[in-house]
Amino acid sequence: MILQKRHKKIAHFRFCAIFILPFILTNALSKECNQKSFTLQSNPNLSPRILLEELAFECALSLSYENGAKKALDSTKVALNFKQKRFGEIVSTIAKASDLHYELDGQLVRFNHLNTRTFHINYISTARVASSNTDVVYGQESQMNSLSPYGSSYSYQHYQAPINSPSPLGEDVQSKALSQGTQSPLFGKSGTKIYSIDELNFWGELENELISLVYQEQDSYNPKHPRIIINKGAGLITINATNAQLERAKDYLASLQSRLSQQVQIDVQIFTIEHNDTNTIGVNWGKLYELGINTQSTSPEIFNAQNGNINYGVYVFSNNLQLGDIVQFLKQYGTTKSISNPKIITLNNQPAIISVGNVLRYSQSLIYQTSTNSSTIQNTGYQYPSVFSGVLLDVTPSIQENQVILKINPSITAAKDPSIENQPTALASPPNLSTNQLSSIVRINDGQKVILGGLISESYNVVTKKVPLLGSIPLIKYLFSYKKTIKQKKEMVIVITPKIIGNEDMEYHFEDSTKS
């Protein structure tokens, strides 16, 4: 019947079996009302608040409206039809239609336009800066502490960042990552420098995303200065909003947590080839087709490589290609050696950083003067900066269903004089370095192989050939010995195989961490 006046009965009541409600009714609710079911119909022009007040009167309950709940009820236009429904079901439906939160406190039913929920996200509590620098600097200046050479470094550092900073990491964090040696005068740069930086401020970006998602212009609740409380150490996010806004946050965080929990195992094989042909332009990977091995070349839109006048190759191979096939193929070009075979597991969209090589130290004199009232004293000291020689590999995977997008940034630095690579003591002067760099983004299927080739270095070694004994006798040794300059070409090949690791592979289970 149409709800009109209280004395005309808002509903007819029938006894039915006890129904389990979505919330717990306390004993304060009269037993008679708790066991009743209601059949009701209301006009869409009638405020749902009137219906609630009539029901509260029948059940001897009091109602409380907080934070604009009364206004939300009066502005809701909905035609309500209930047949044999319990009190709790009716209240729940009306609250949902009006985007309200409610709770039963004894004989008082509280309606609130806002609700507070806490969500849990499993993630590290720091902003991340991955920076790679190789720069050799040397010189002197006659001022105390004025010379601070900037040696090579490869750092992977964590810094706390204000989550409301204008830039993703904040200027303070970025300056810390790049501060080594940059605040002192530099003299006599070697000309060799590799620099890259990868920034990620997860919590700062997440807060901005949630504010944009939760508080939208069309919402009934849209504060002038929205705030979301984030405890990075505990991974807790607390939001005060309407139920509809909280549902949007819940769905987003559940999807985010699912993506964050995915992991990728990255298997890296690094080979060097000492080419038999010193005039070679590198490995011809197209010959793999002649061996009947399935290959798939990268398309231009996902490939980008830069370094001087050298043309690099980035190739994608099917899962059927075995590592042994690659080694046998490379041996056709010369002596093939395996330098390193690191394996690392990283979370989705997180960089995996691999460093393989040597640290070369060199001595550097430091001269400065100290002055007193009566004299000037010149002081001499030594310090031992270092440069890195080897492979720096930064790989960031991004999972897209059964495919992986890899951002690959290798930097290969080597001393031009190979004999100094294994020196037990510090070098007398900064070494001359050669550098190869490559940057590429590729999309491959799970388990496929990516090969980076064309990283060629050229060196010249002087060797002495002599007749035994006679070649060592002073004066006449030059008649029985000679020196020869040998040209040597080496090529570095990097094979990267990503494999998506599921939760079942790690033998653990993620529960829904977005539950309040």
* Dist. CA 36–CA 16, nearest whole Å: 7
Please indicate, yes or no, whether residues 156 and 303 belong to a single structural domain of this protein.
no
129: Cβ–Cβ under 8 A, 6 or more apart, which residues? 157, 158, 159, 169, 173, 174, 176, 177, 197, 198, 199
Query: In terms of C-beta density within 10 A (0-12 exposed, 13-18 middle, 19 or more buried), how is residue 269 classed?
Result: buried
Q: How far is CA 408 from CA 352, 393, 492, 494, in A?
A: 10, 7, 15, 11
373: Cβ–Cβ under 8 A, 6 or more apart, which residues? none
Residue 100 sits in a domain whose CATH number is: 3.55.50.30
Please indicate, yes or no, whether residues 49 and 171 belong to a single structural domain of this protein.
no
Please indicate, yes or no, whether residues 322 and 227 belong to a single structural domain of this protein.
no
Per residue, the 3-state secondary structure of 62-91, as one string, reads EEEEECCHHHHHHCCCCCCEEEEECHHHHH
Asked if residue 62 is part of any domain, the answer here is yes
Q: Give the dihedral of Cα atoms 484, 433, 336, 425; nearest 10 deg.
A: 80
The token duo for 226 is: 């929205």
Asked if residue 330 is part of any domain, the answer here is yes
Amino acid making up residue 382: Y
Please indicate, yes or no, whether residues 214 and 277 belong to a single structural domain of this protein.
no
Please indicate, yes or no, whether residues 223 and 280 belong to a single structural domain of this protein.
no
* Dist. CA 453–CA 492, nearest whole Å: 7
Closest CA to 488 of 430, 438, 423, 414: 414
Split into its structural domains, the chain has a count of: 3
Please indicate, yes or no, whether residues 320 and 449 belong to a single structural domain of this protein.
yes
Condensed to tens digits (0 to 9), the pLDDT of residues 327-349 reads: 888 888 888 998 889 999 988 88
- The pLDDT, as a whole number, for residue 213 is 93
Q: How far is CA 332 from CA 218, 297, 325, 493, 494, in A?
A: 67, 21, 12, 14, 17
Domain boundary among 113, 136, 156: 113
* Dist. CA 323–CA 145, nearest whole Å: 53
Which string of DSSP letters, residue by residue, matches 17-75? -----SSPPPTTS-HHHHTEEEEEE--TTS-HHHHHHHHHHHTT-EEEEETTHHHHHHT
- The pLDDT, as a whole number, for residue 126 is 63
- The pLDDT, as a whole number, for residue 47 is 87
* Dist. CA 64–CA 111, nearest whole Å: 6
Asked if residue 376 is part of any domain, the answer here is no
- The pLDDT, as a whole number, for residue 474 is 85
Residues of the domain holding 170: 114-260
- The pLDDT, as a whole number, for residue 131 is 54
Please indicate, yes or no, whether residues 354 and 495 belong to a single structural domain of this protein.
yes
Asked if residue 268 is part of any domain, the answer here is yes
Please indicate, yes or no, whether residues 325 and 279 belong to a single structural domain of this protein.
yes
Please indicate, yes or no, whether residues 301 and 449 belong to a single structural domain of this protein.
yes
Asked if residue 365 is part of any domain, the answer here is no
Asked if residue 379 is part of any domain, the answer here is no
Q: How far is CA 429 from CA 139, 238, 364, in A?
A: 11, 57, 7
Please indicate, yes or no, whether residues 119 and 104 belong to a single structural domain of this protein.
no
Domain boundary among 67, 98, 113: 113
- The pLDDT, as a whole number, for residue 303 is 34
Vertex 188: Cα angle to 186 and 193 (nearest 5) = 80
Please indicate, yes or no, whether residues 188 and 212 belong to a single structural domain of this protein.
yes
**Three-state DSSP class for residue 176:** helix
Asked if residue 377 is part of any domain, the answer here is no
The token duo for 261 is: 């929990």
All residue ranges of the chain with pLDDT < 50 are: 1-30, 132-171, 173-174, 176-194, 292, 294-312, 509-510, 512-514, 516
Give yes or no for a contact between 502 and 456, defined as CB atoms under 8 angstroms apart.
no
Asked if residue 378 is part of any domain, the answer here is no
Amino acid making up residue 67: N
Domain boundary among 260, 285, 302: 260
Please indicate, yes or no, whether residues 234 and 341 belong to a single structural domain of this protein.
no
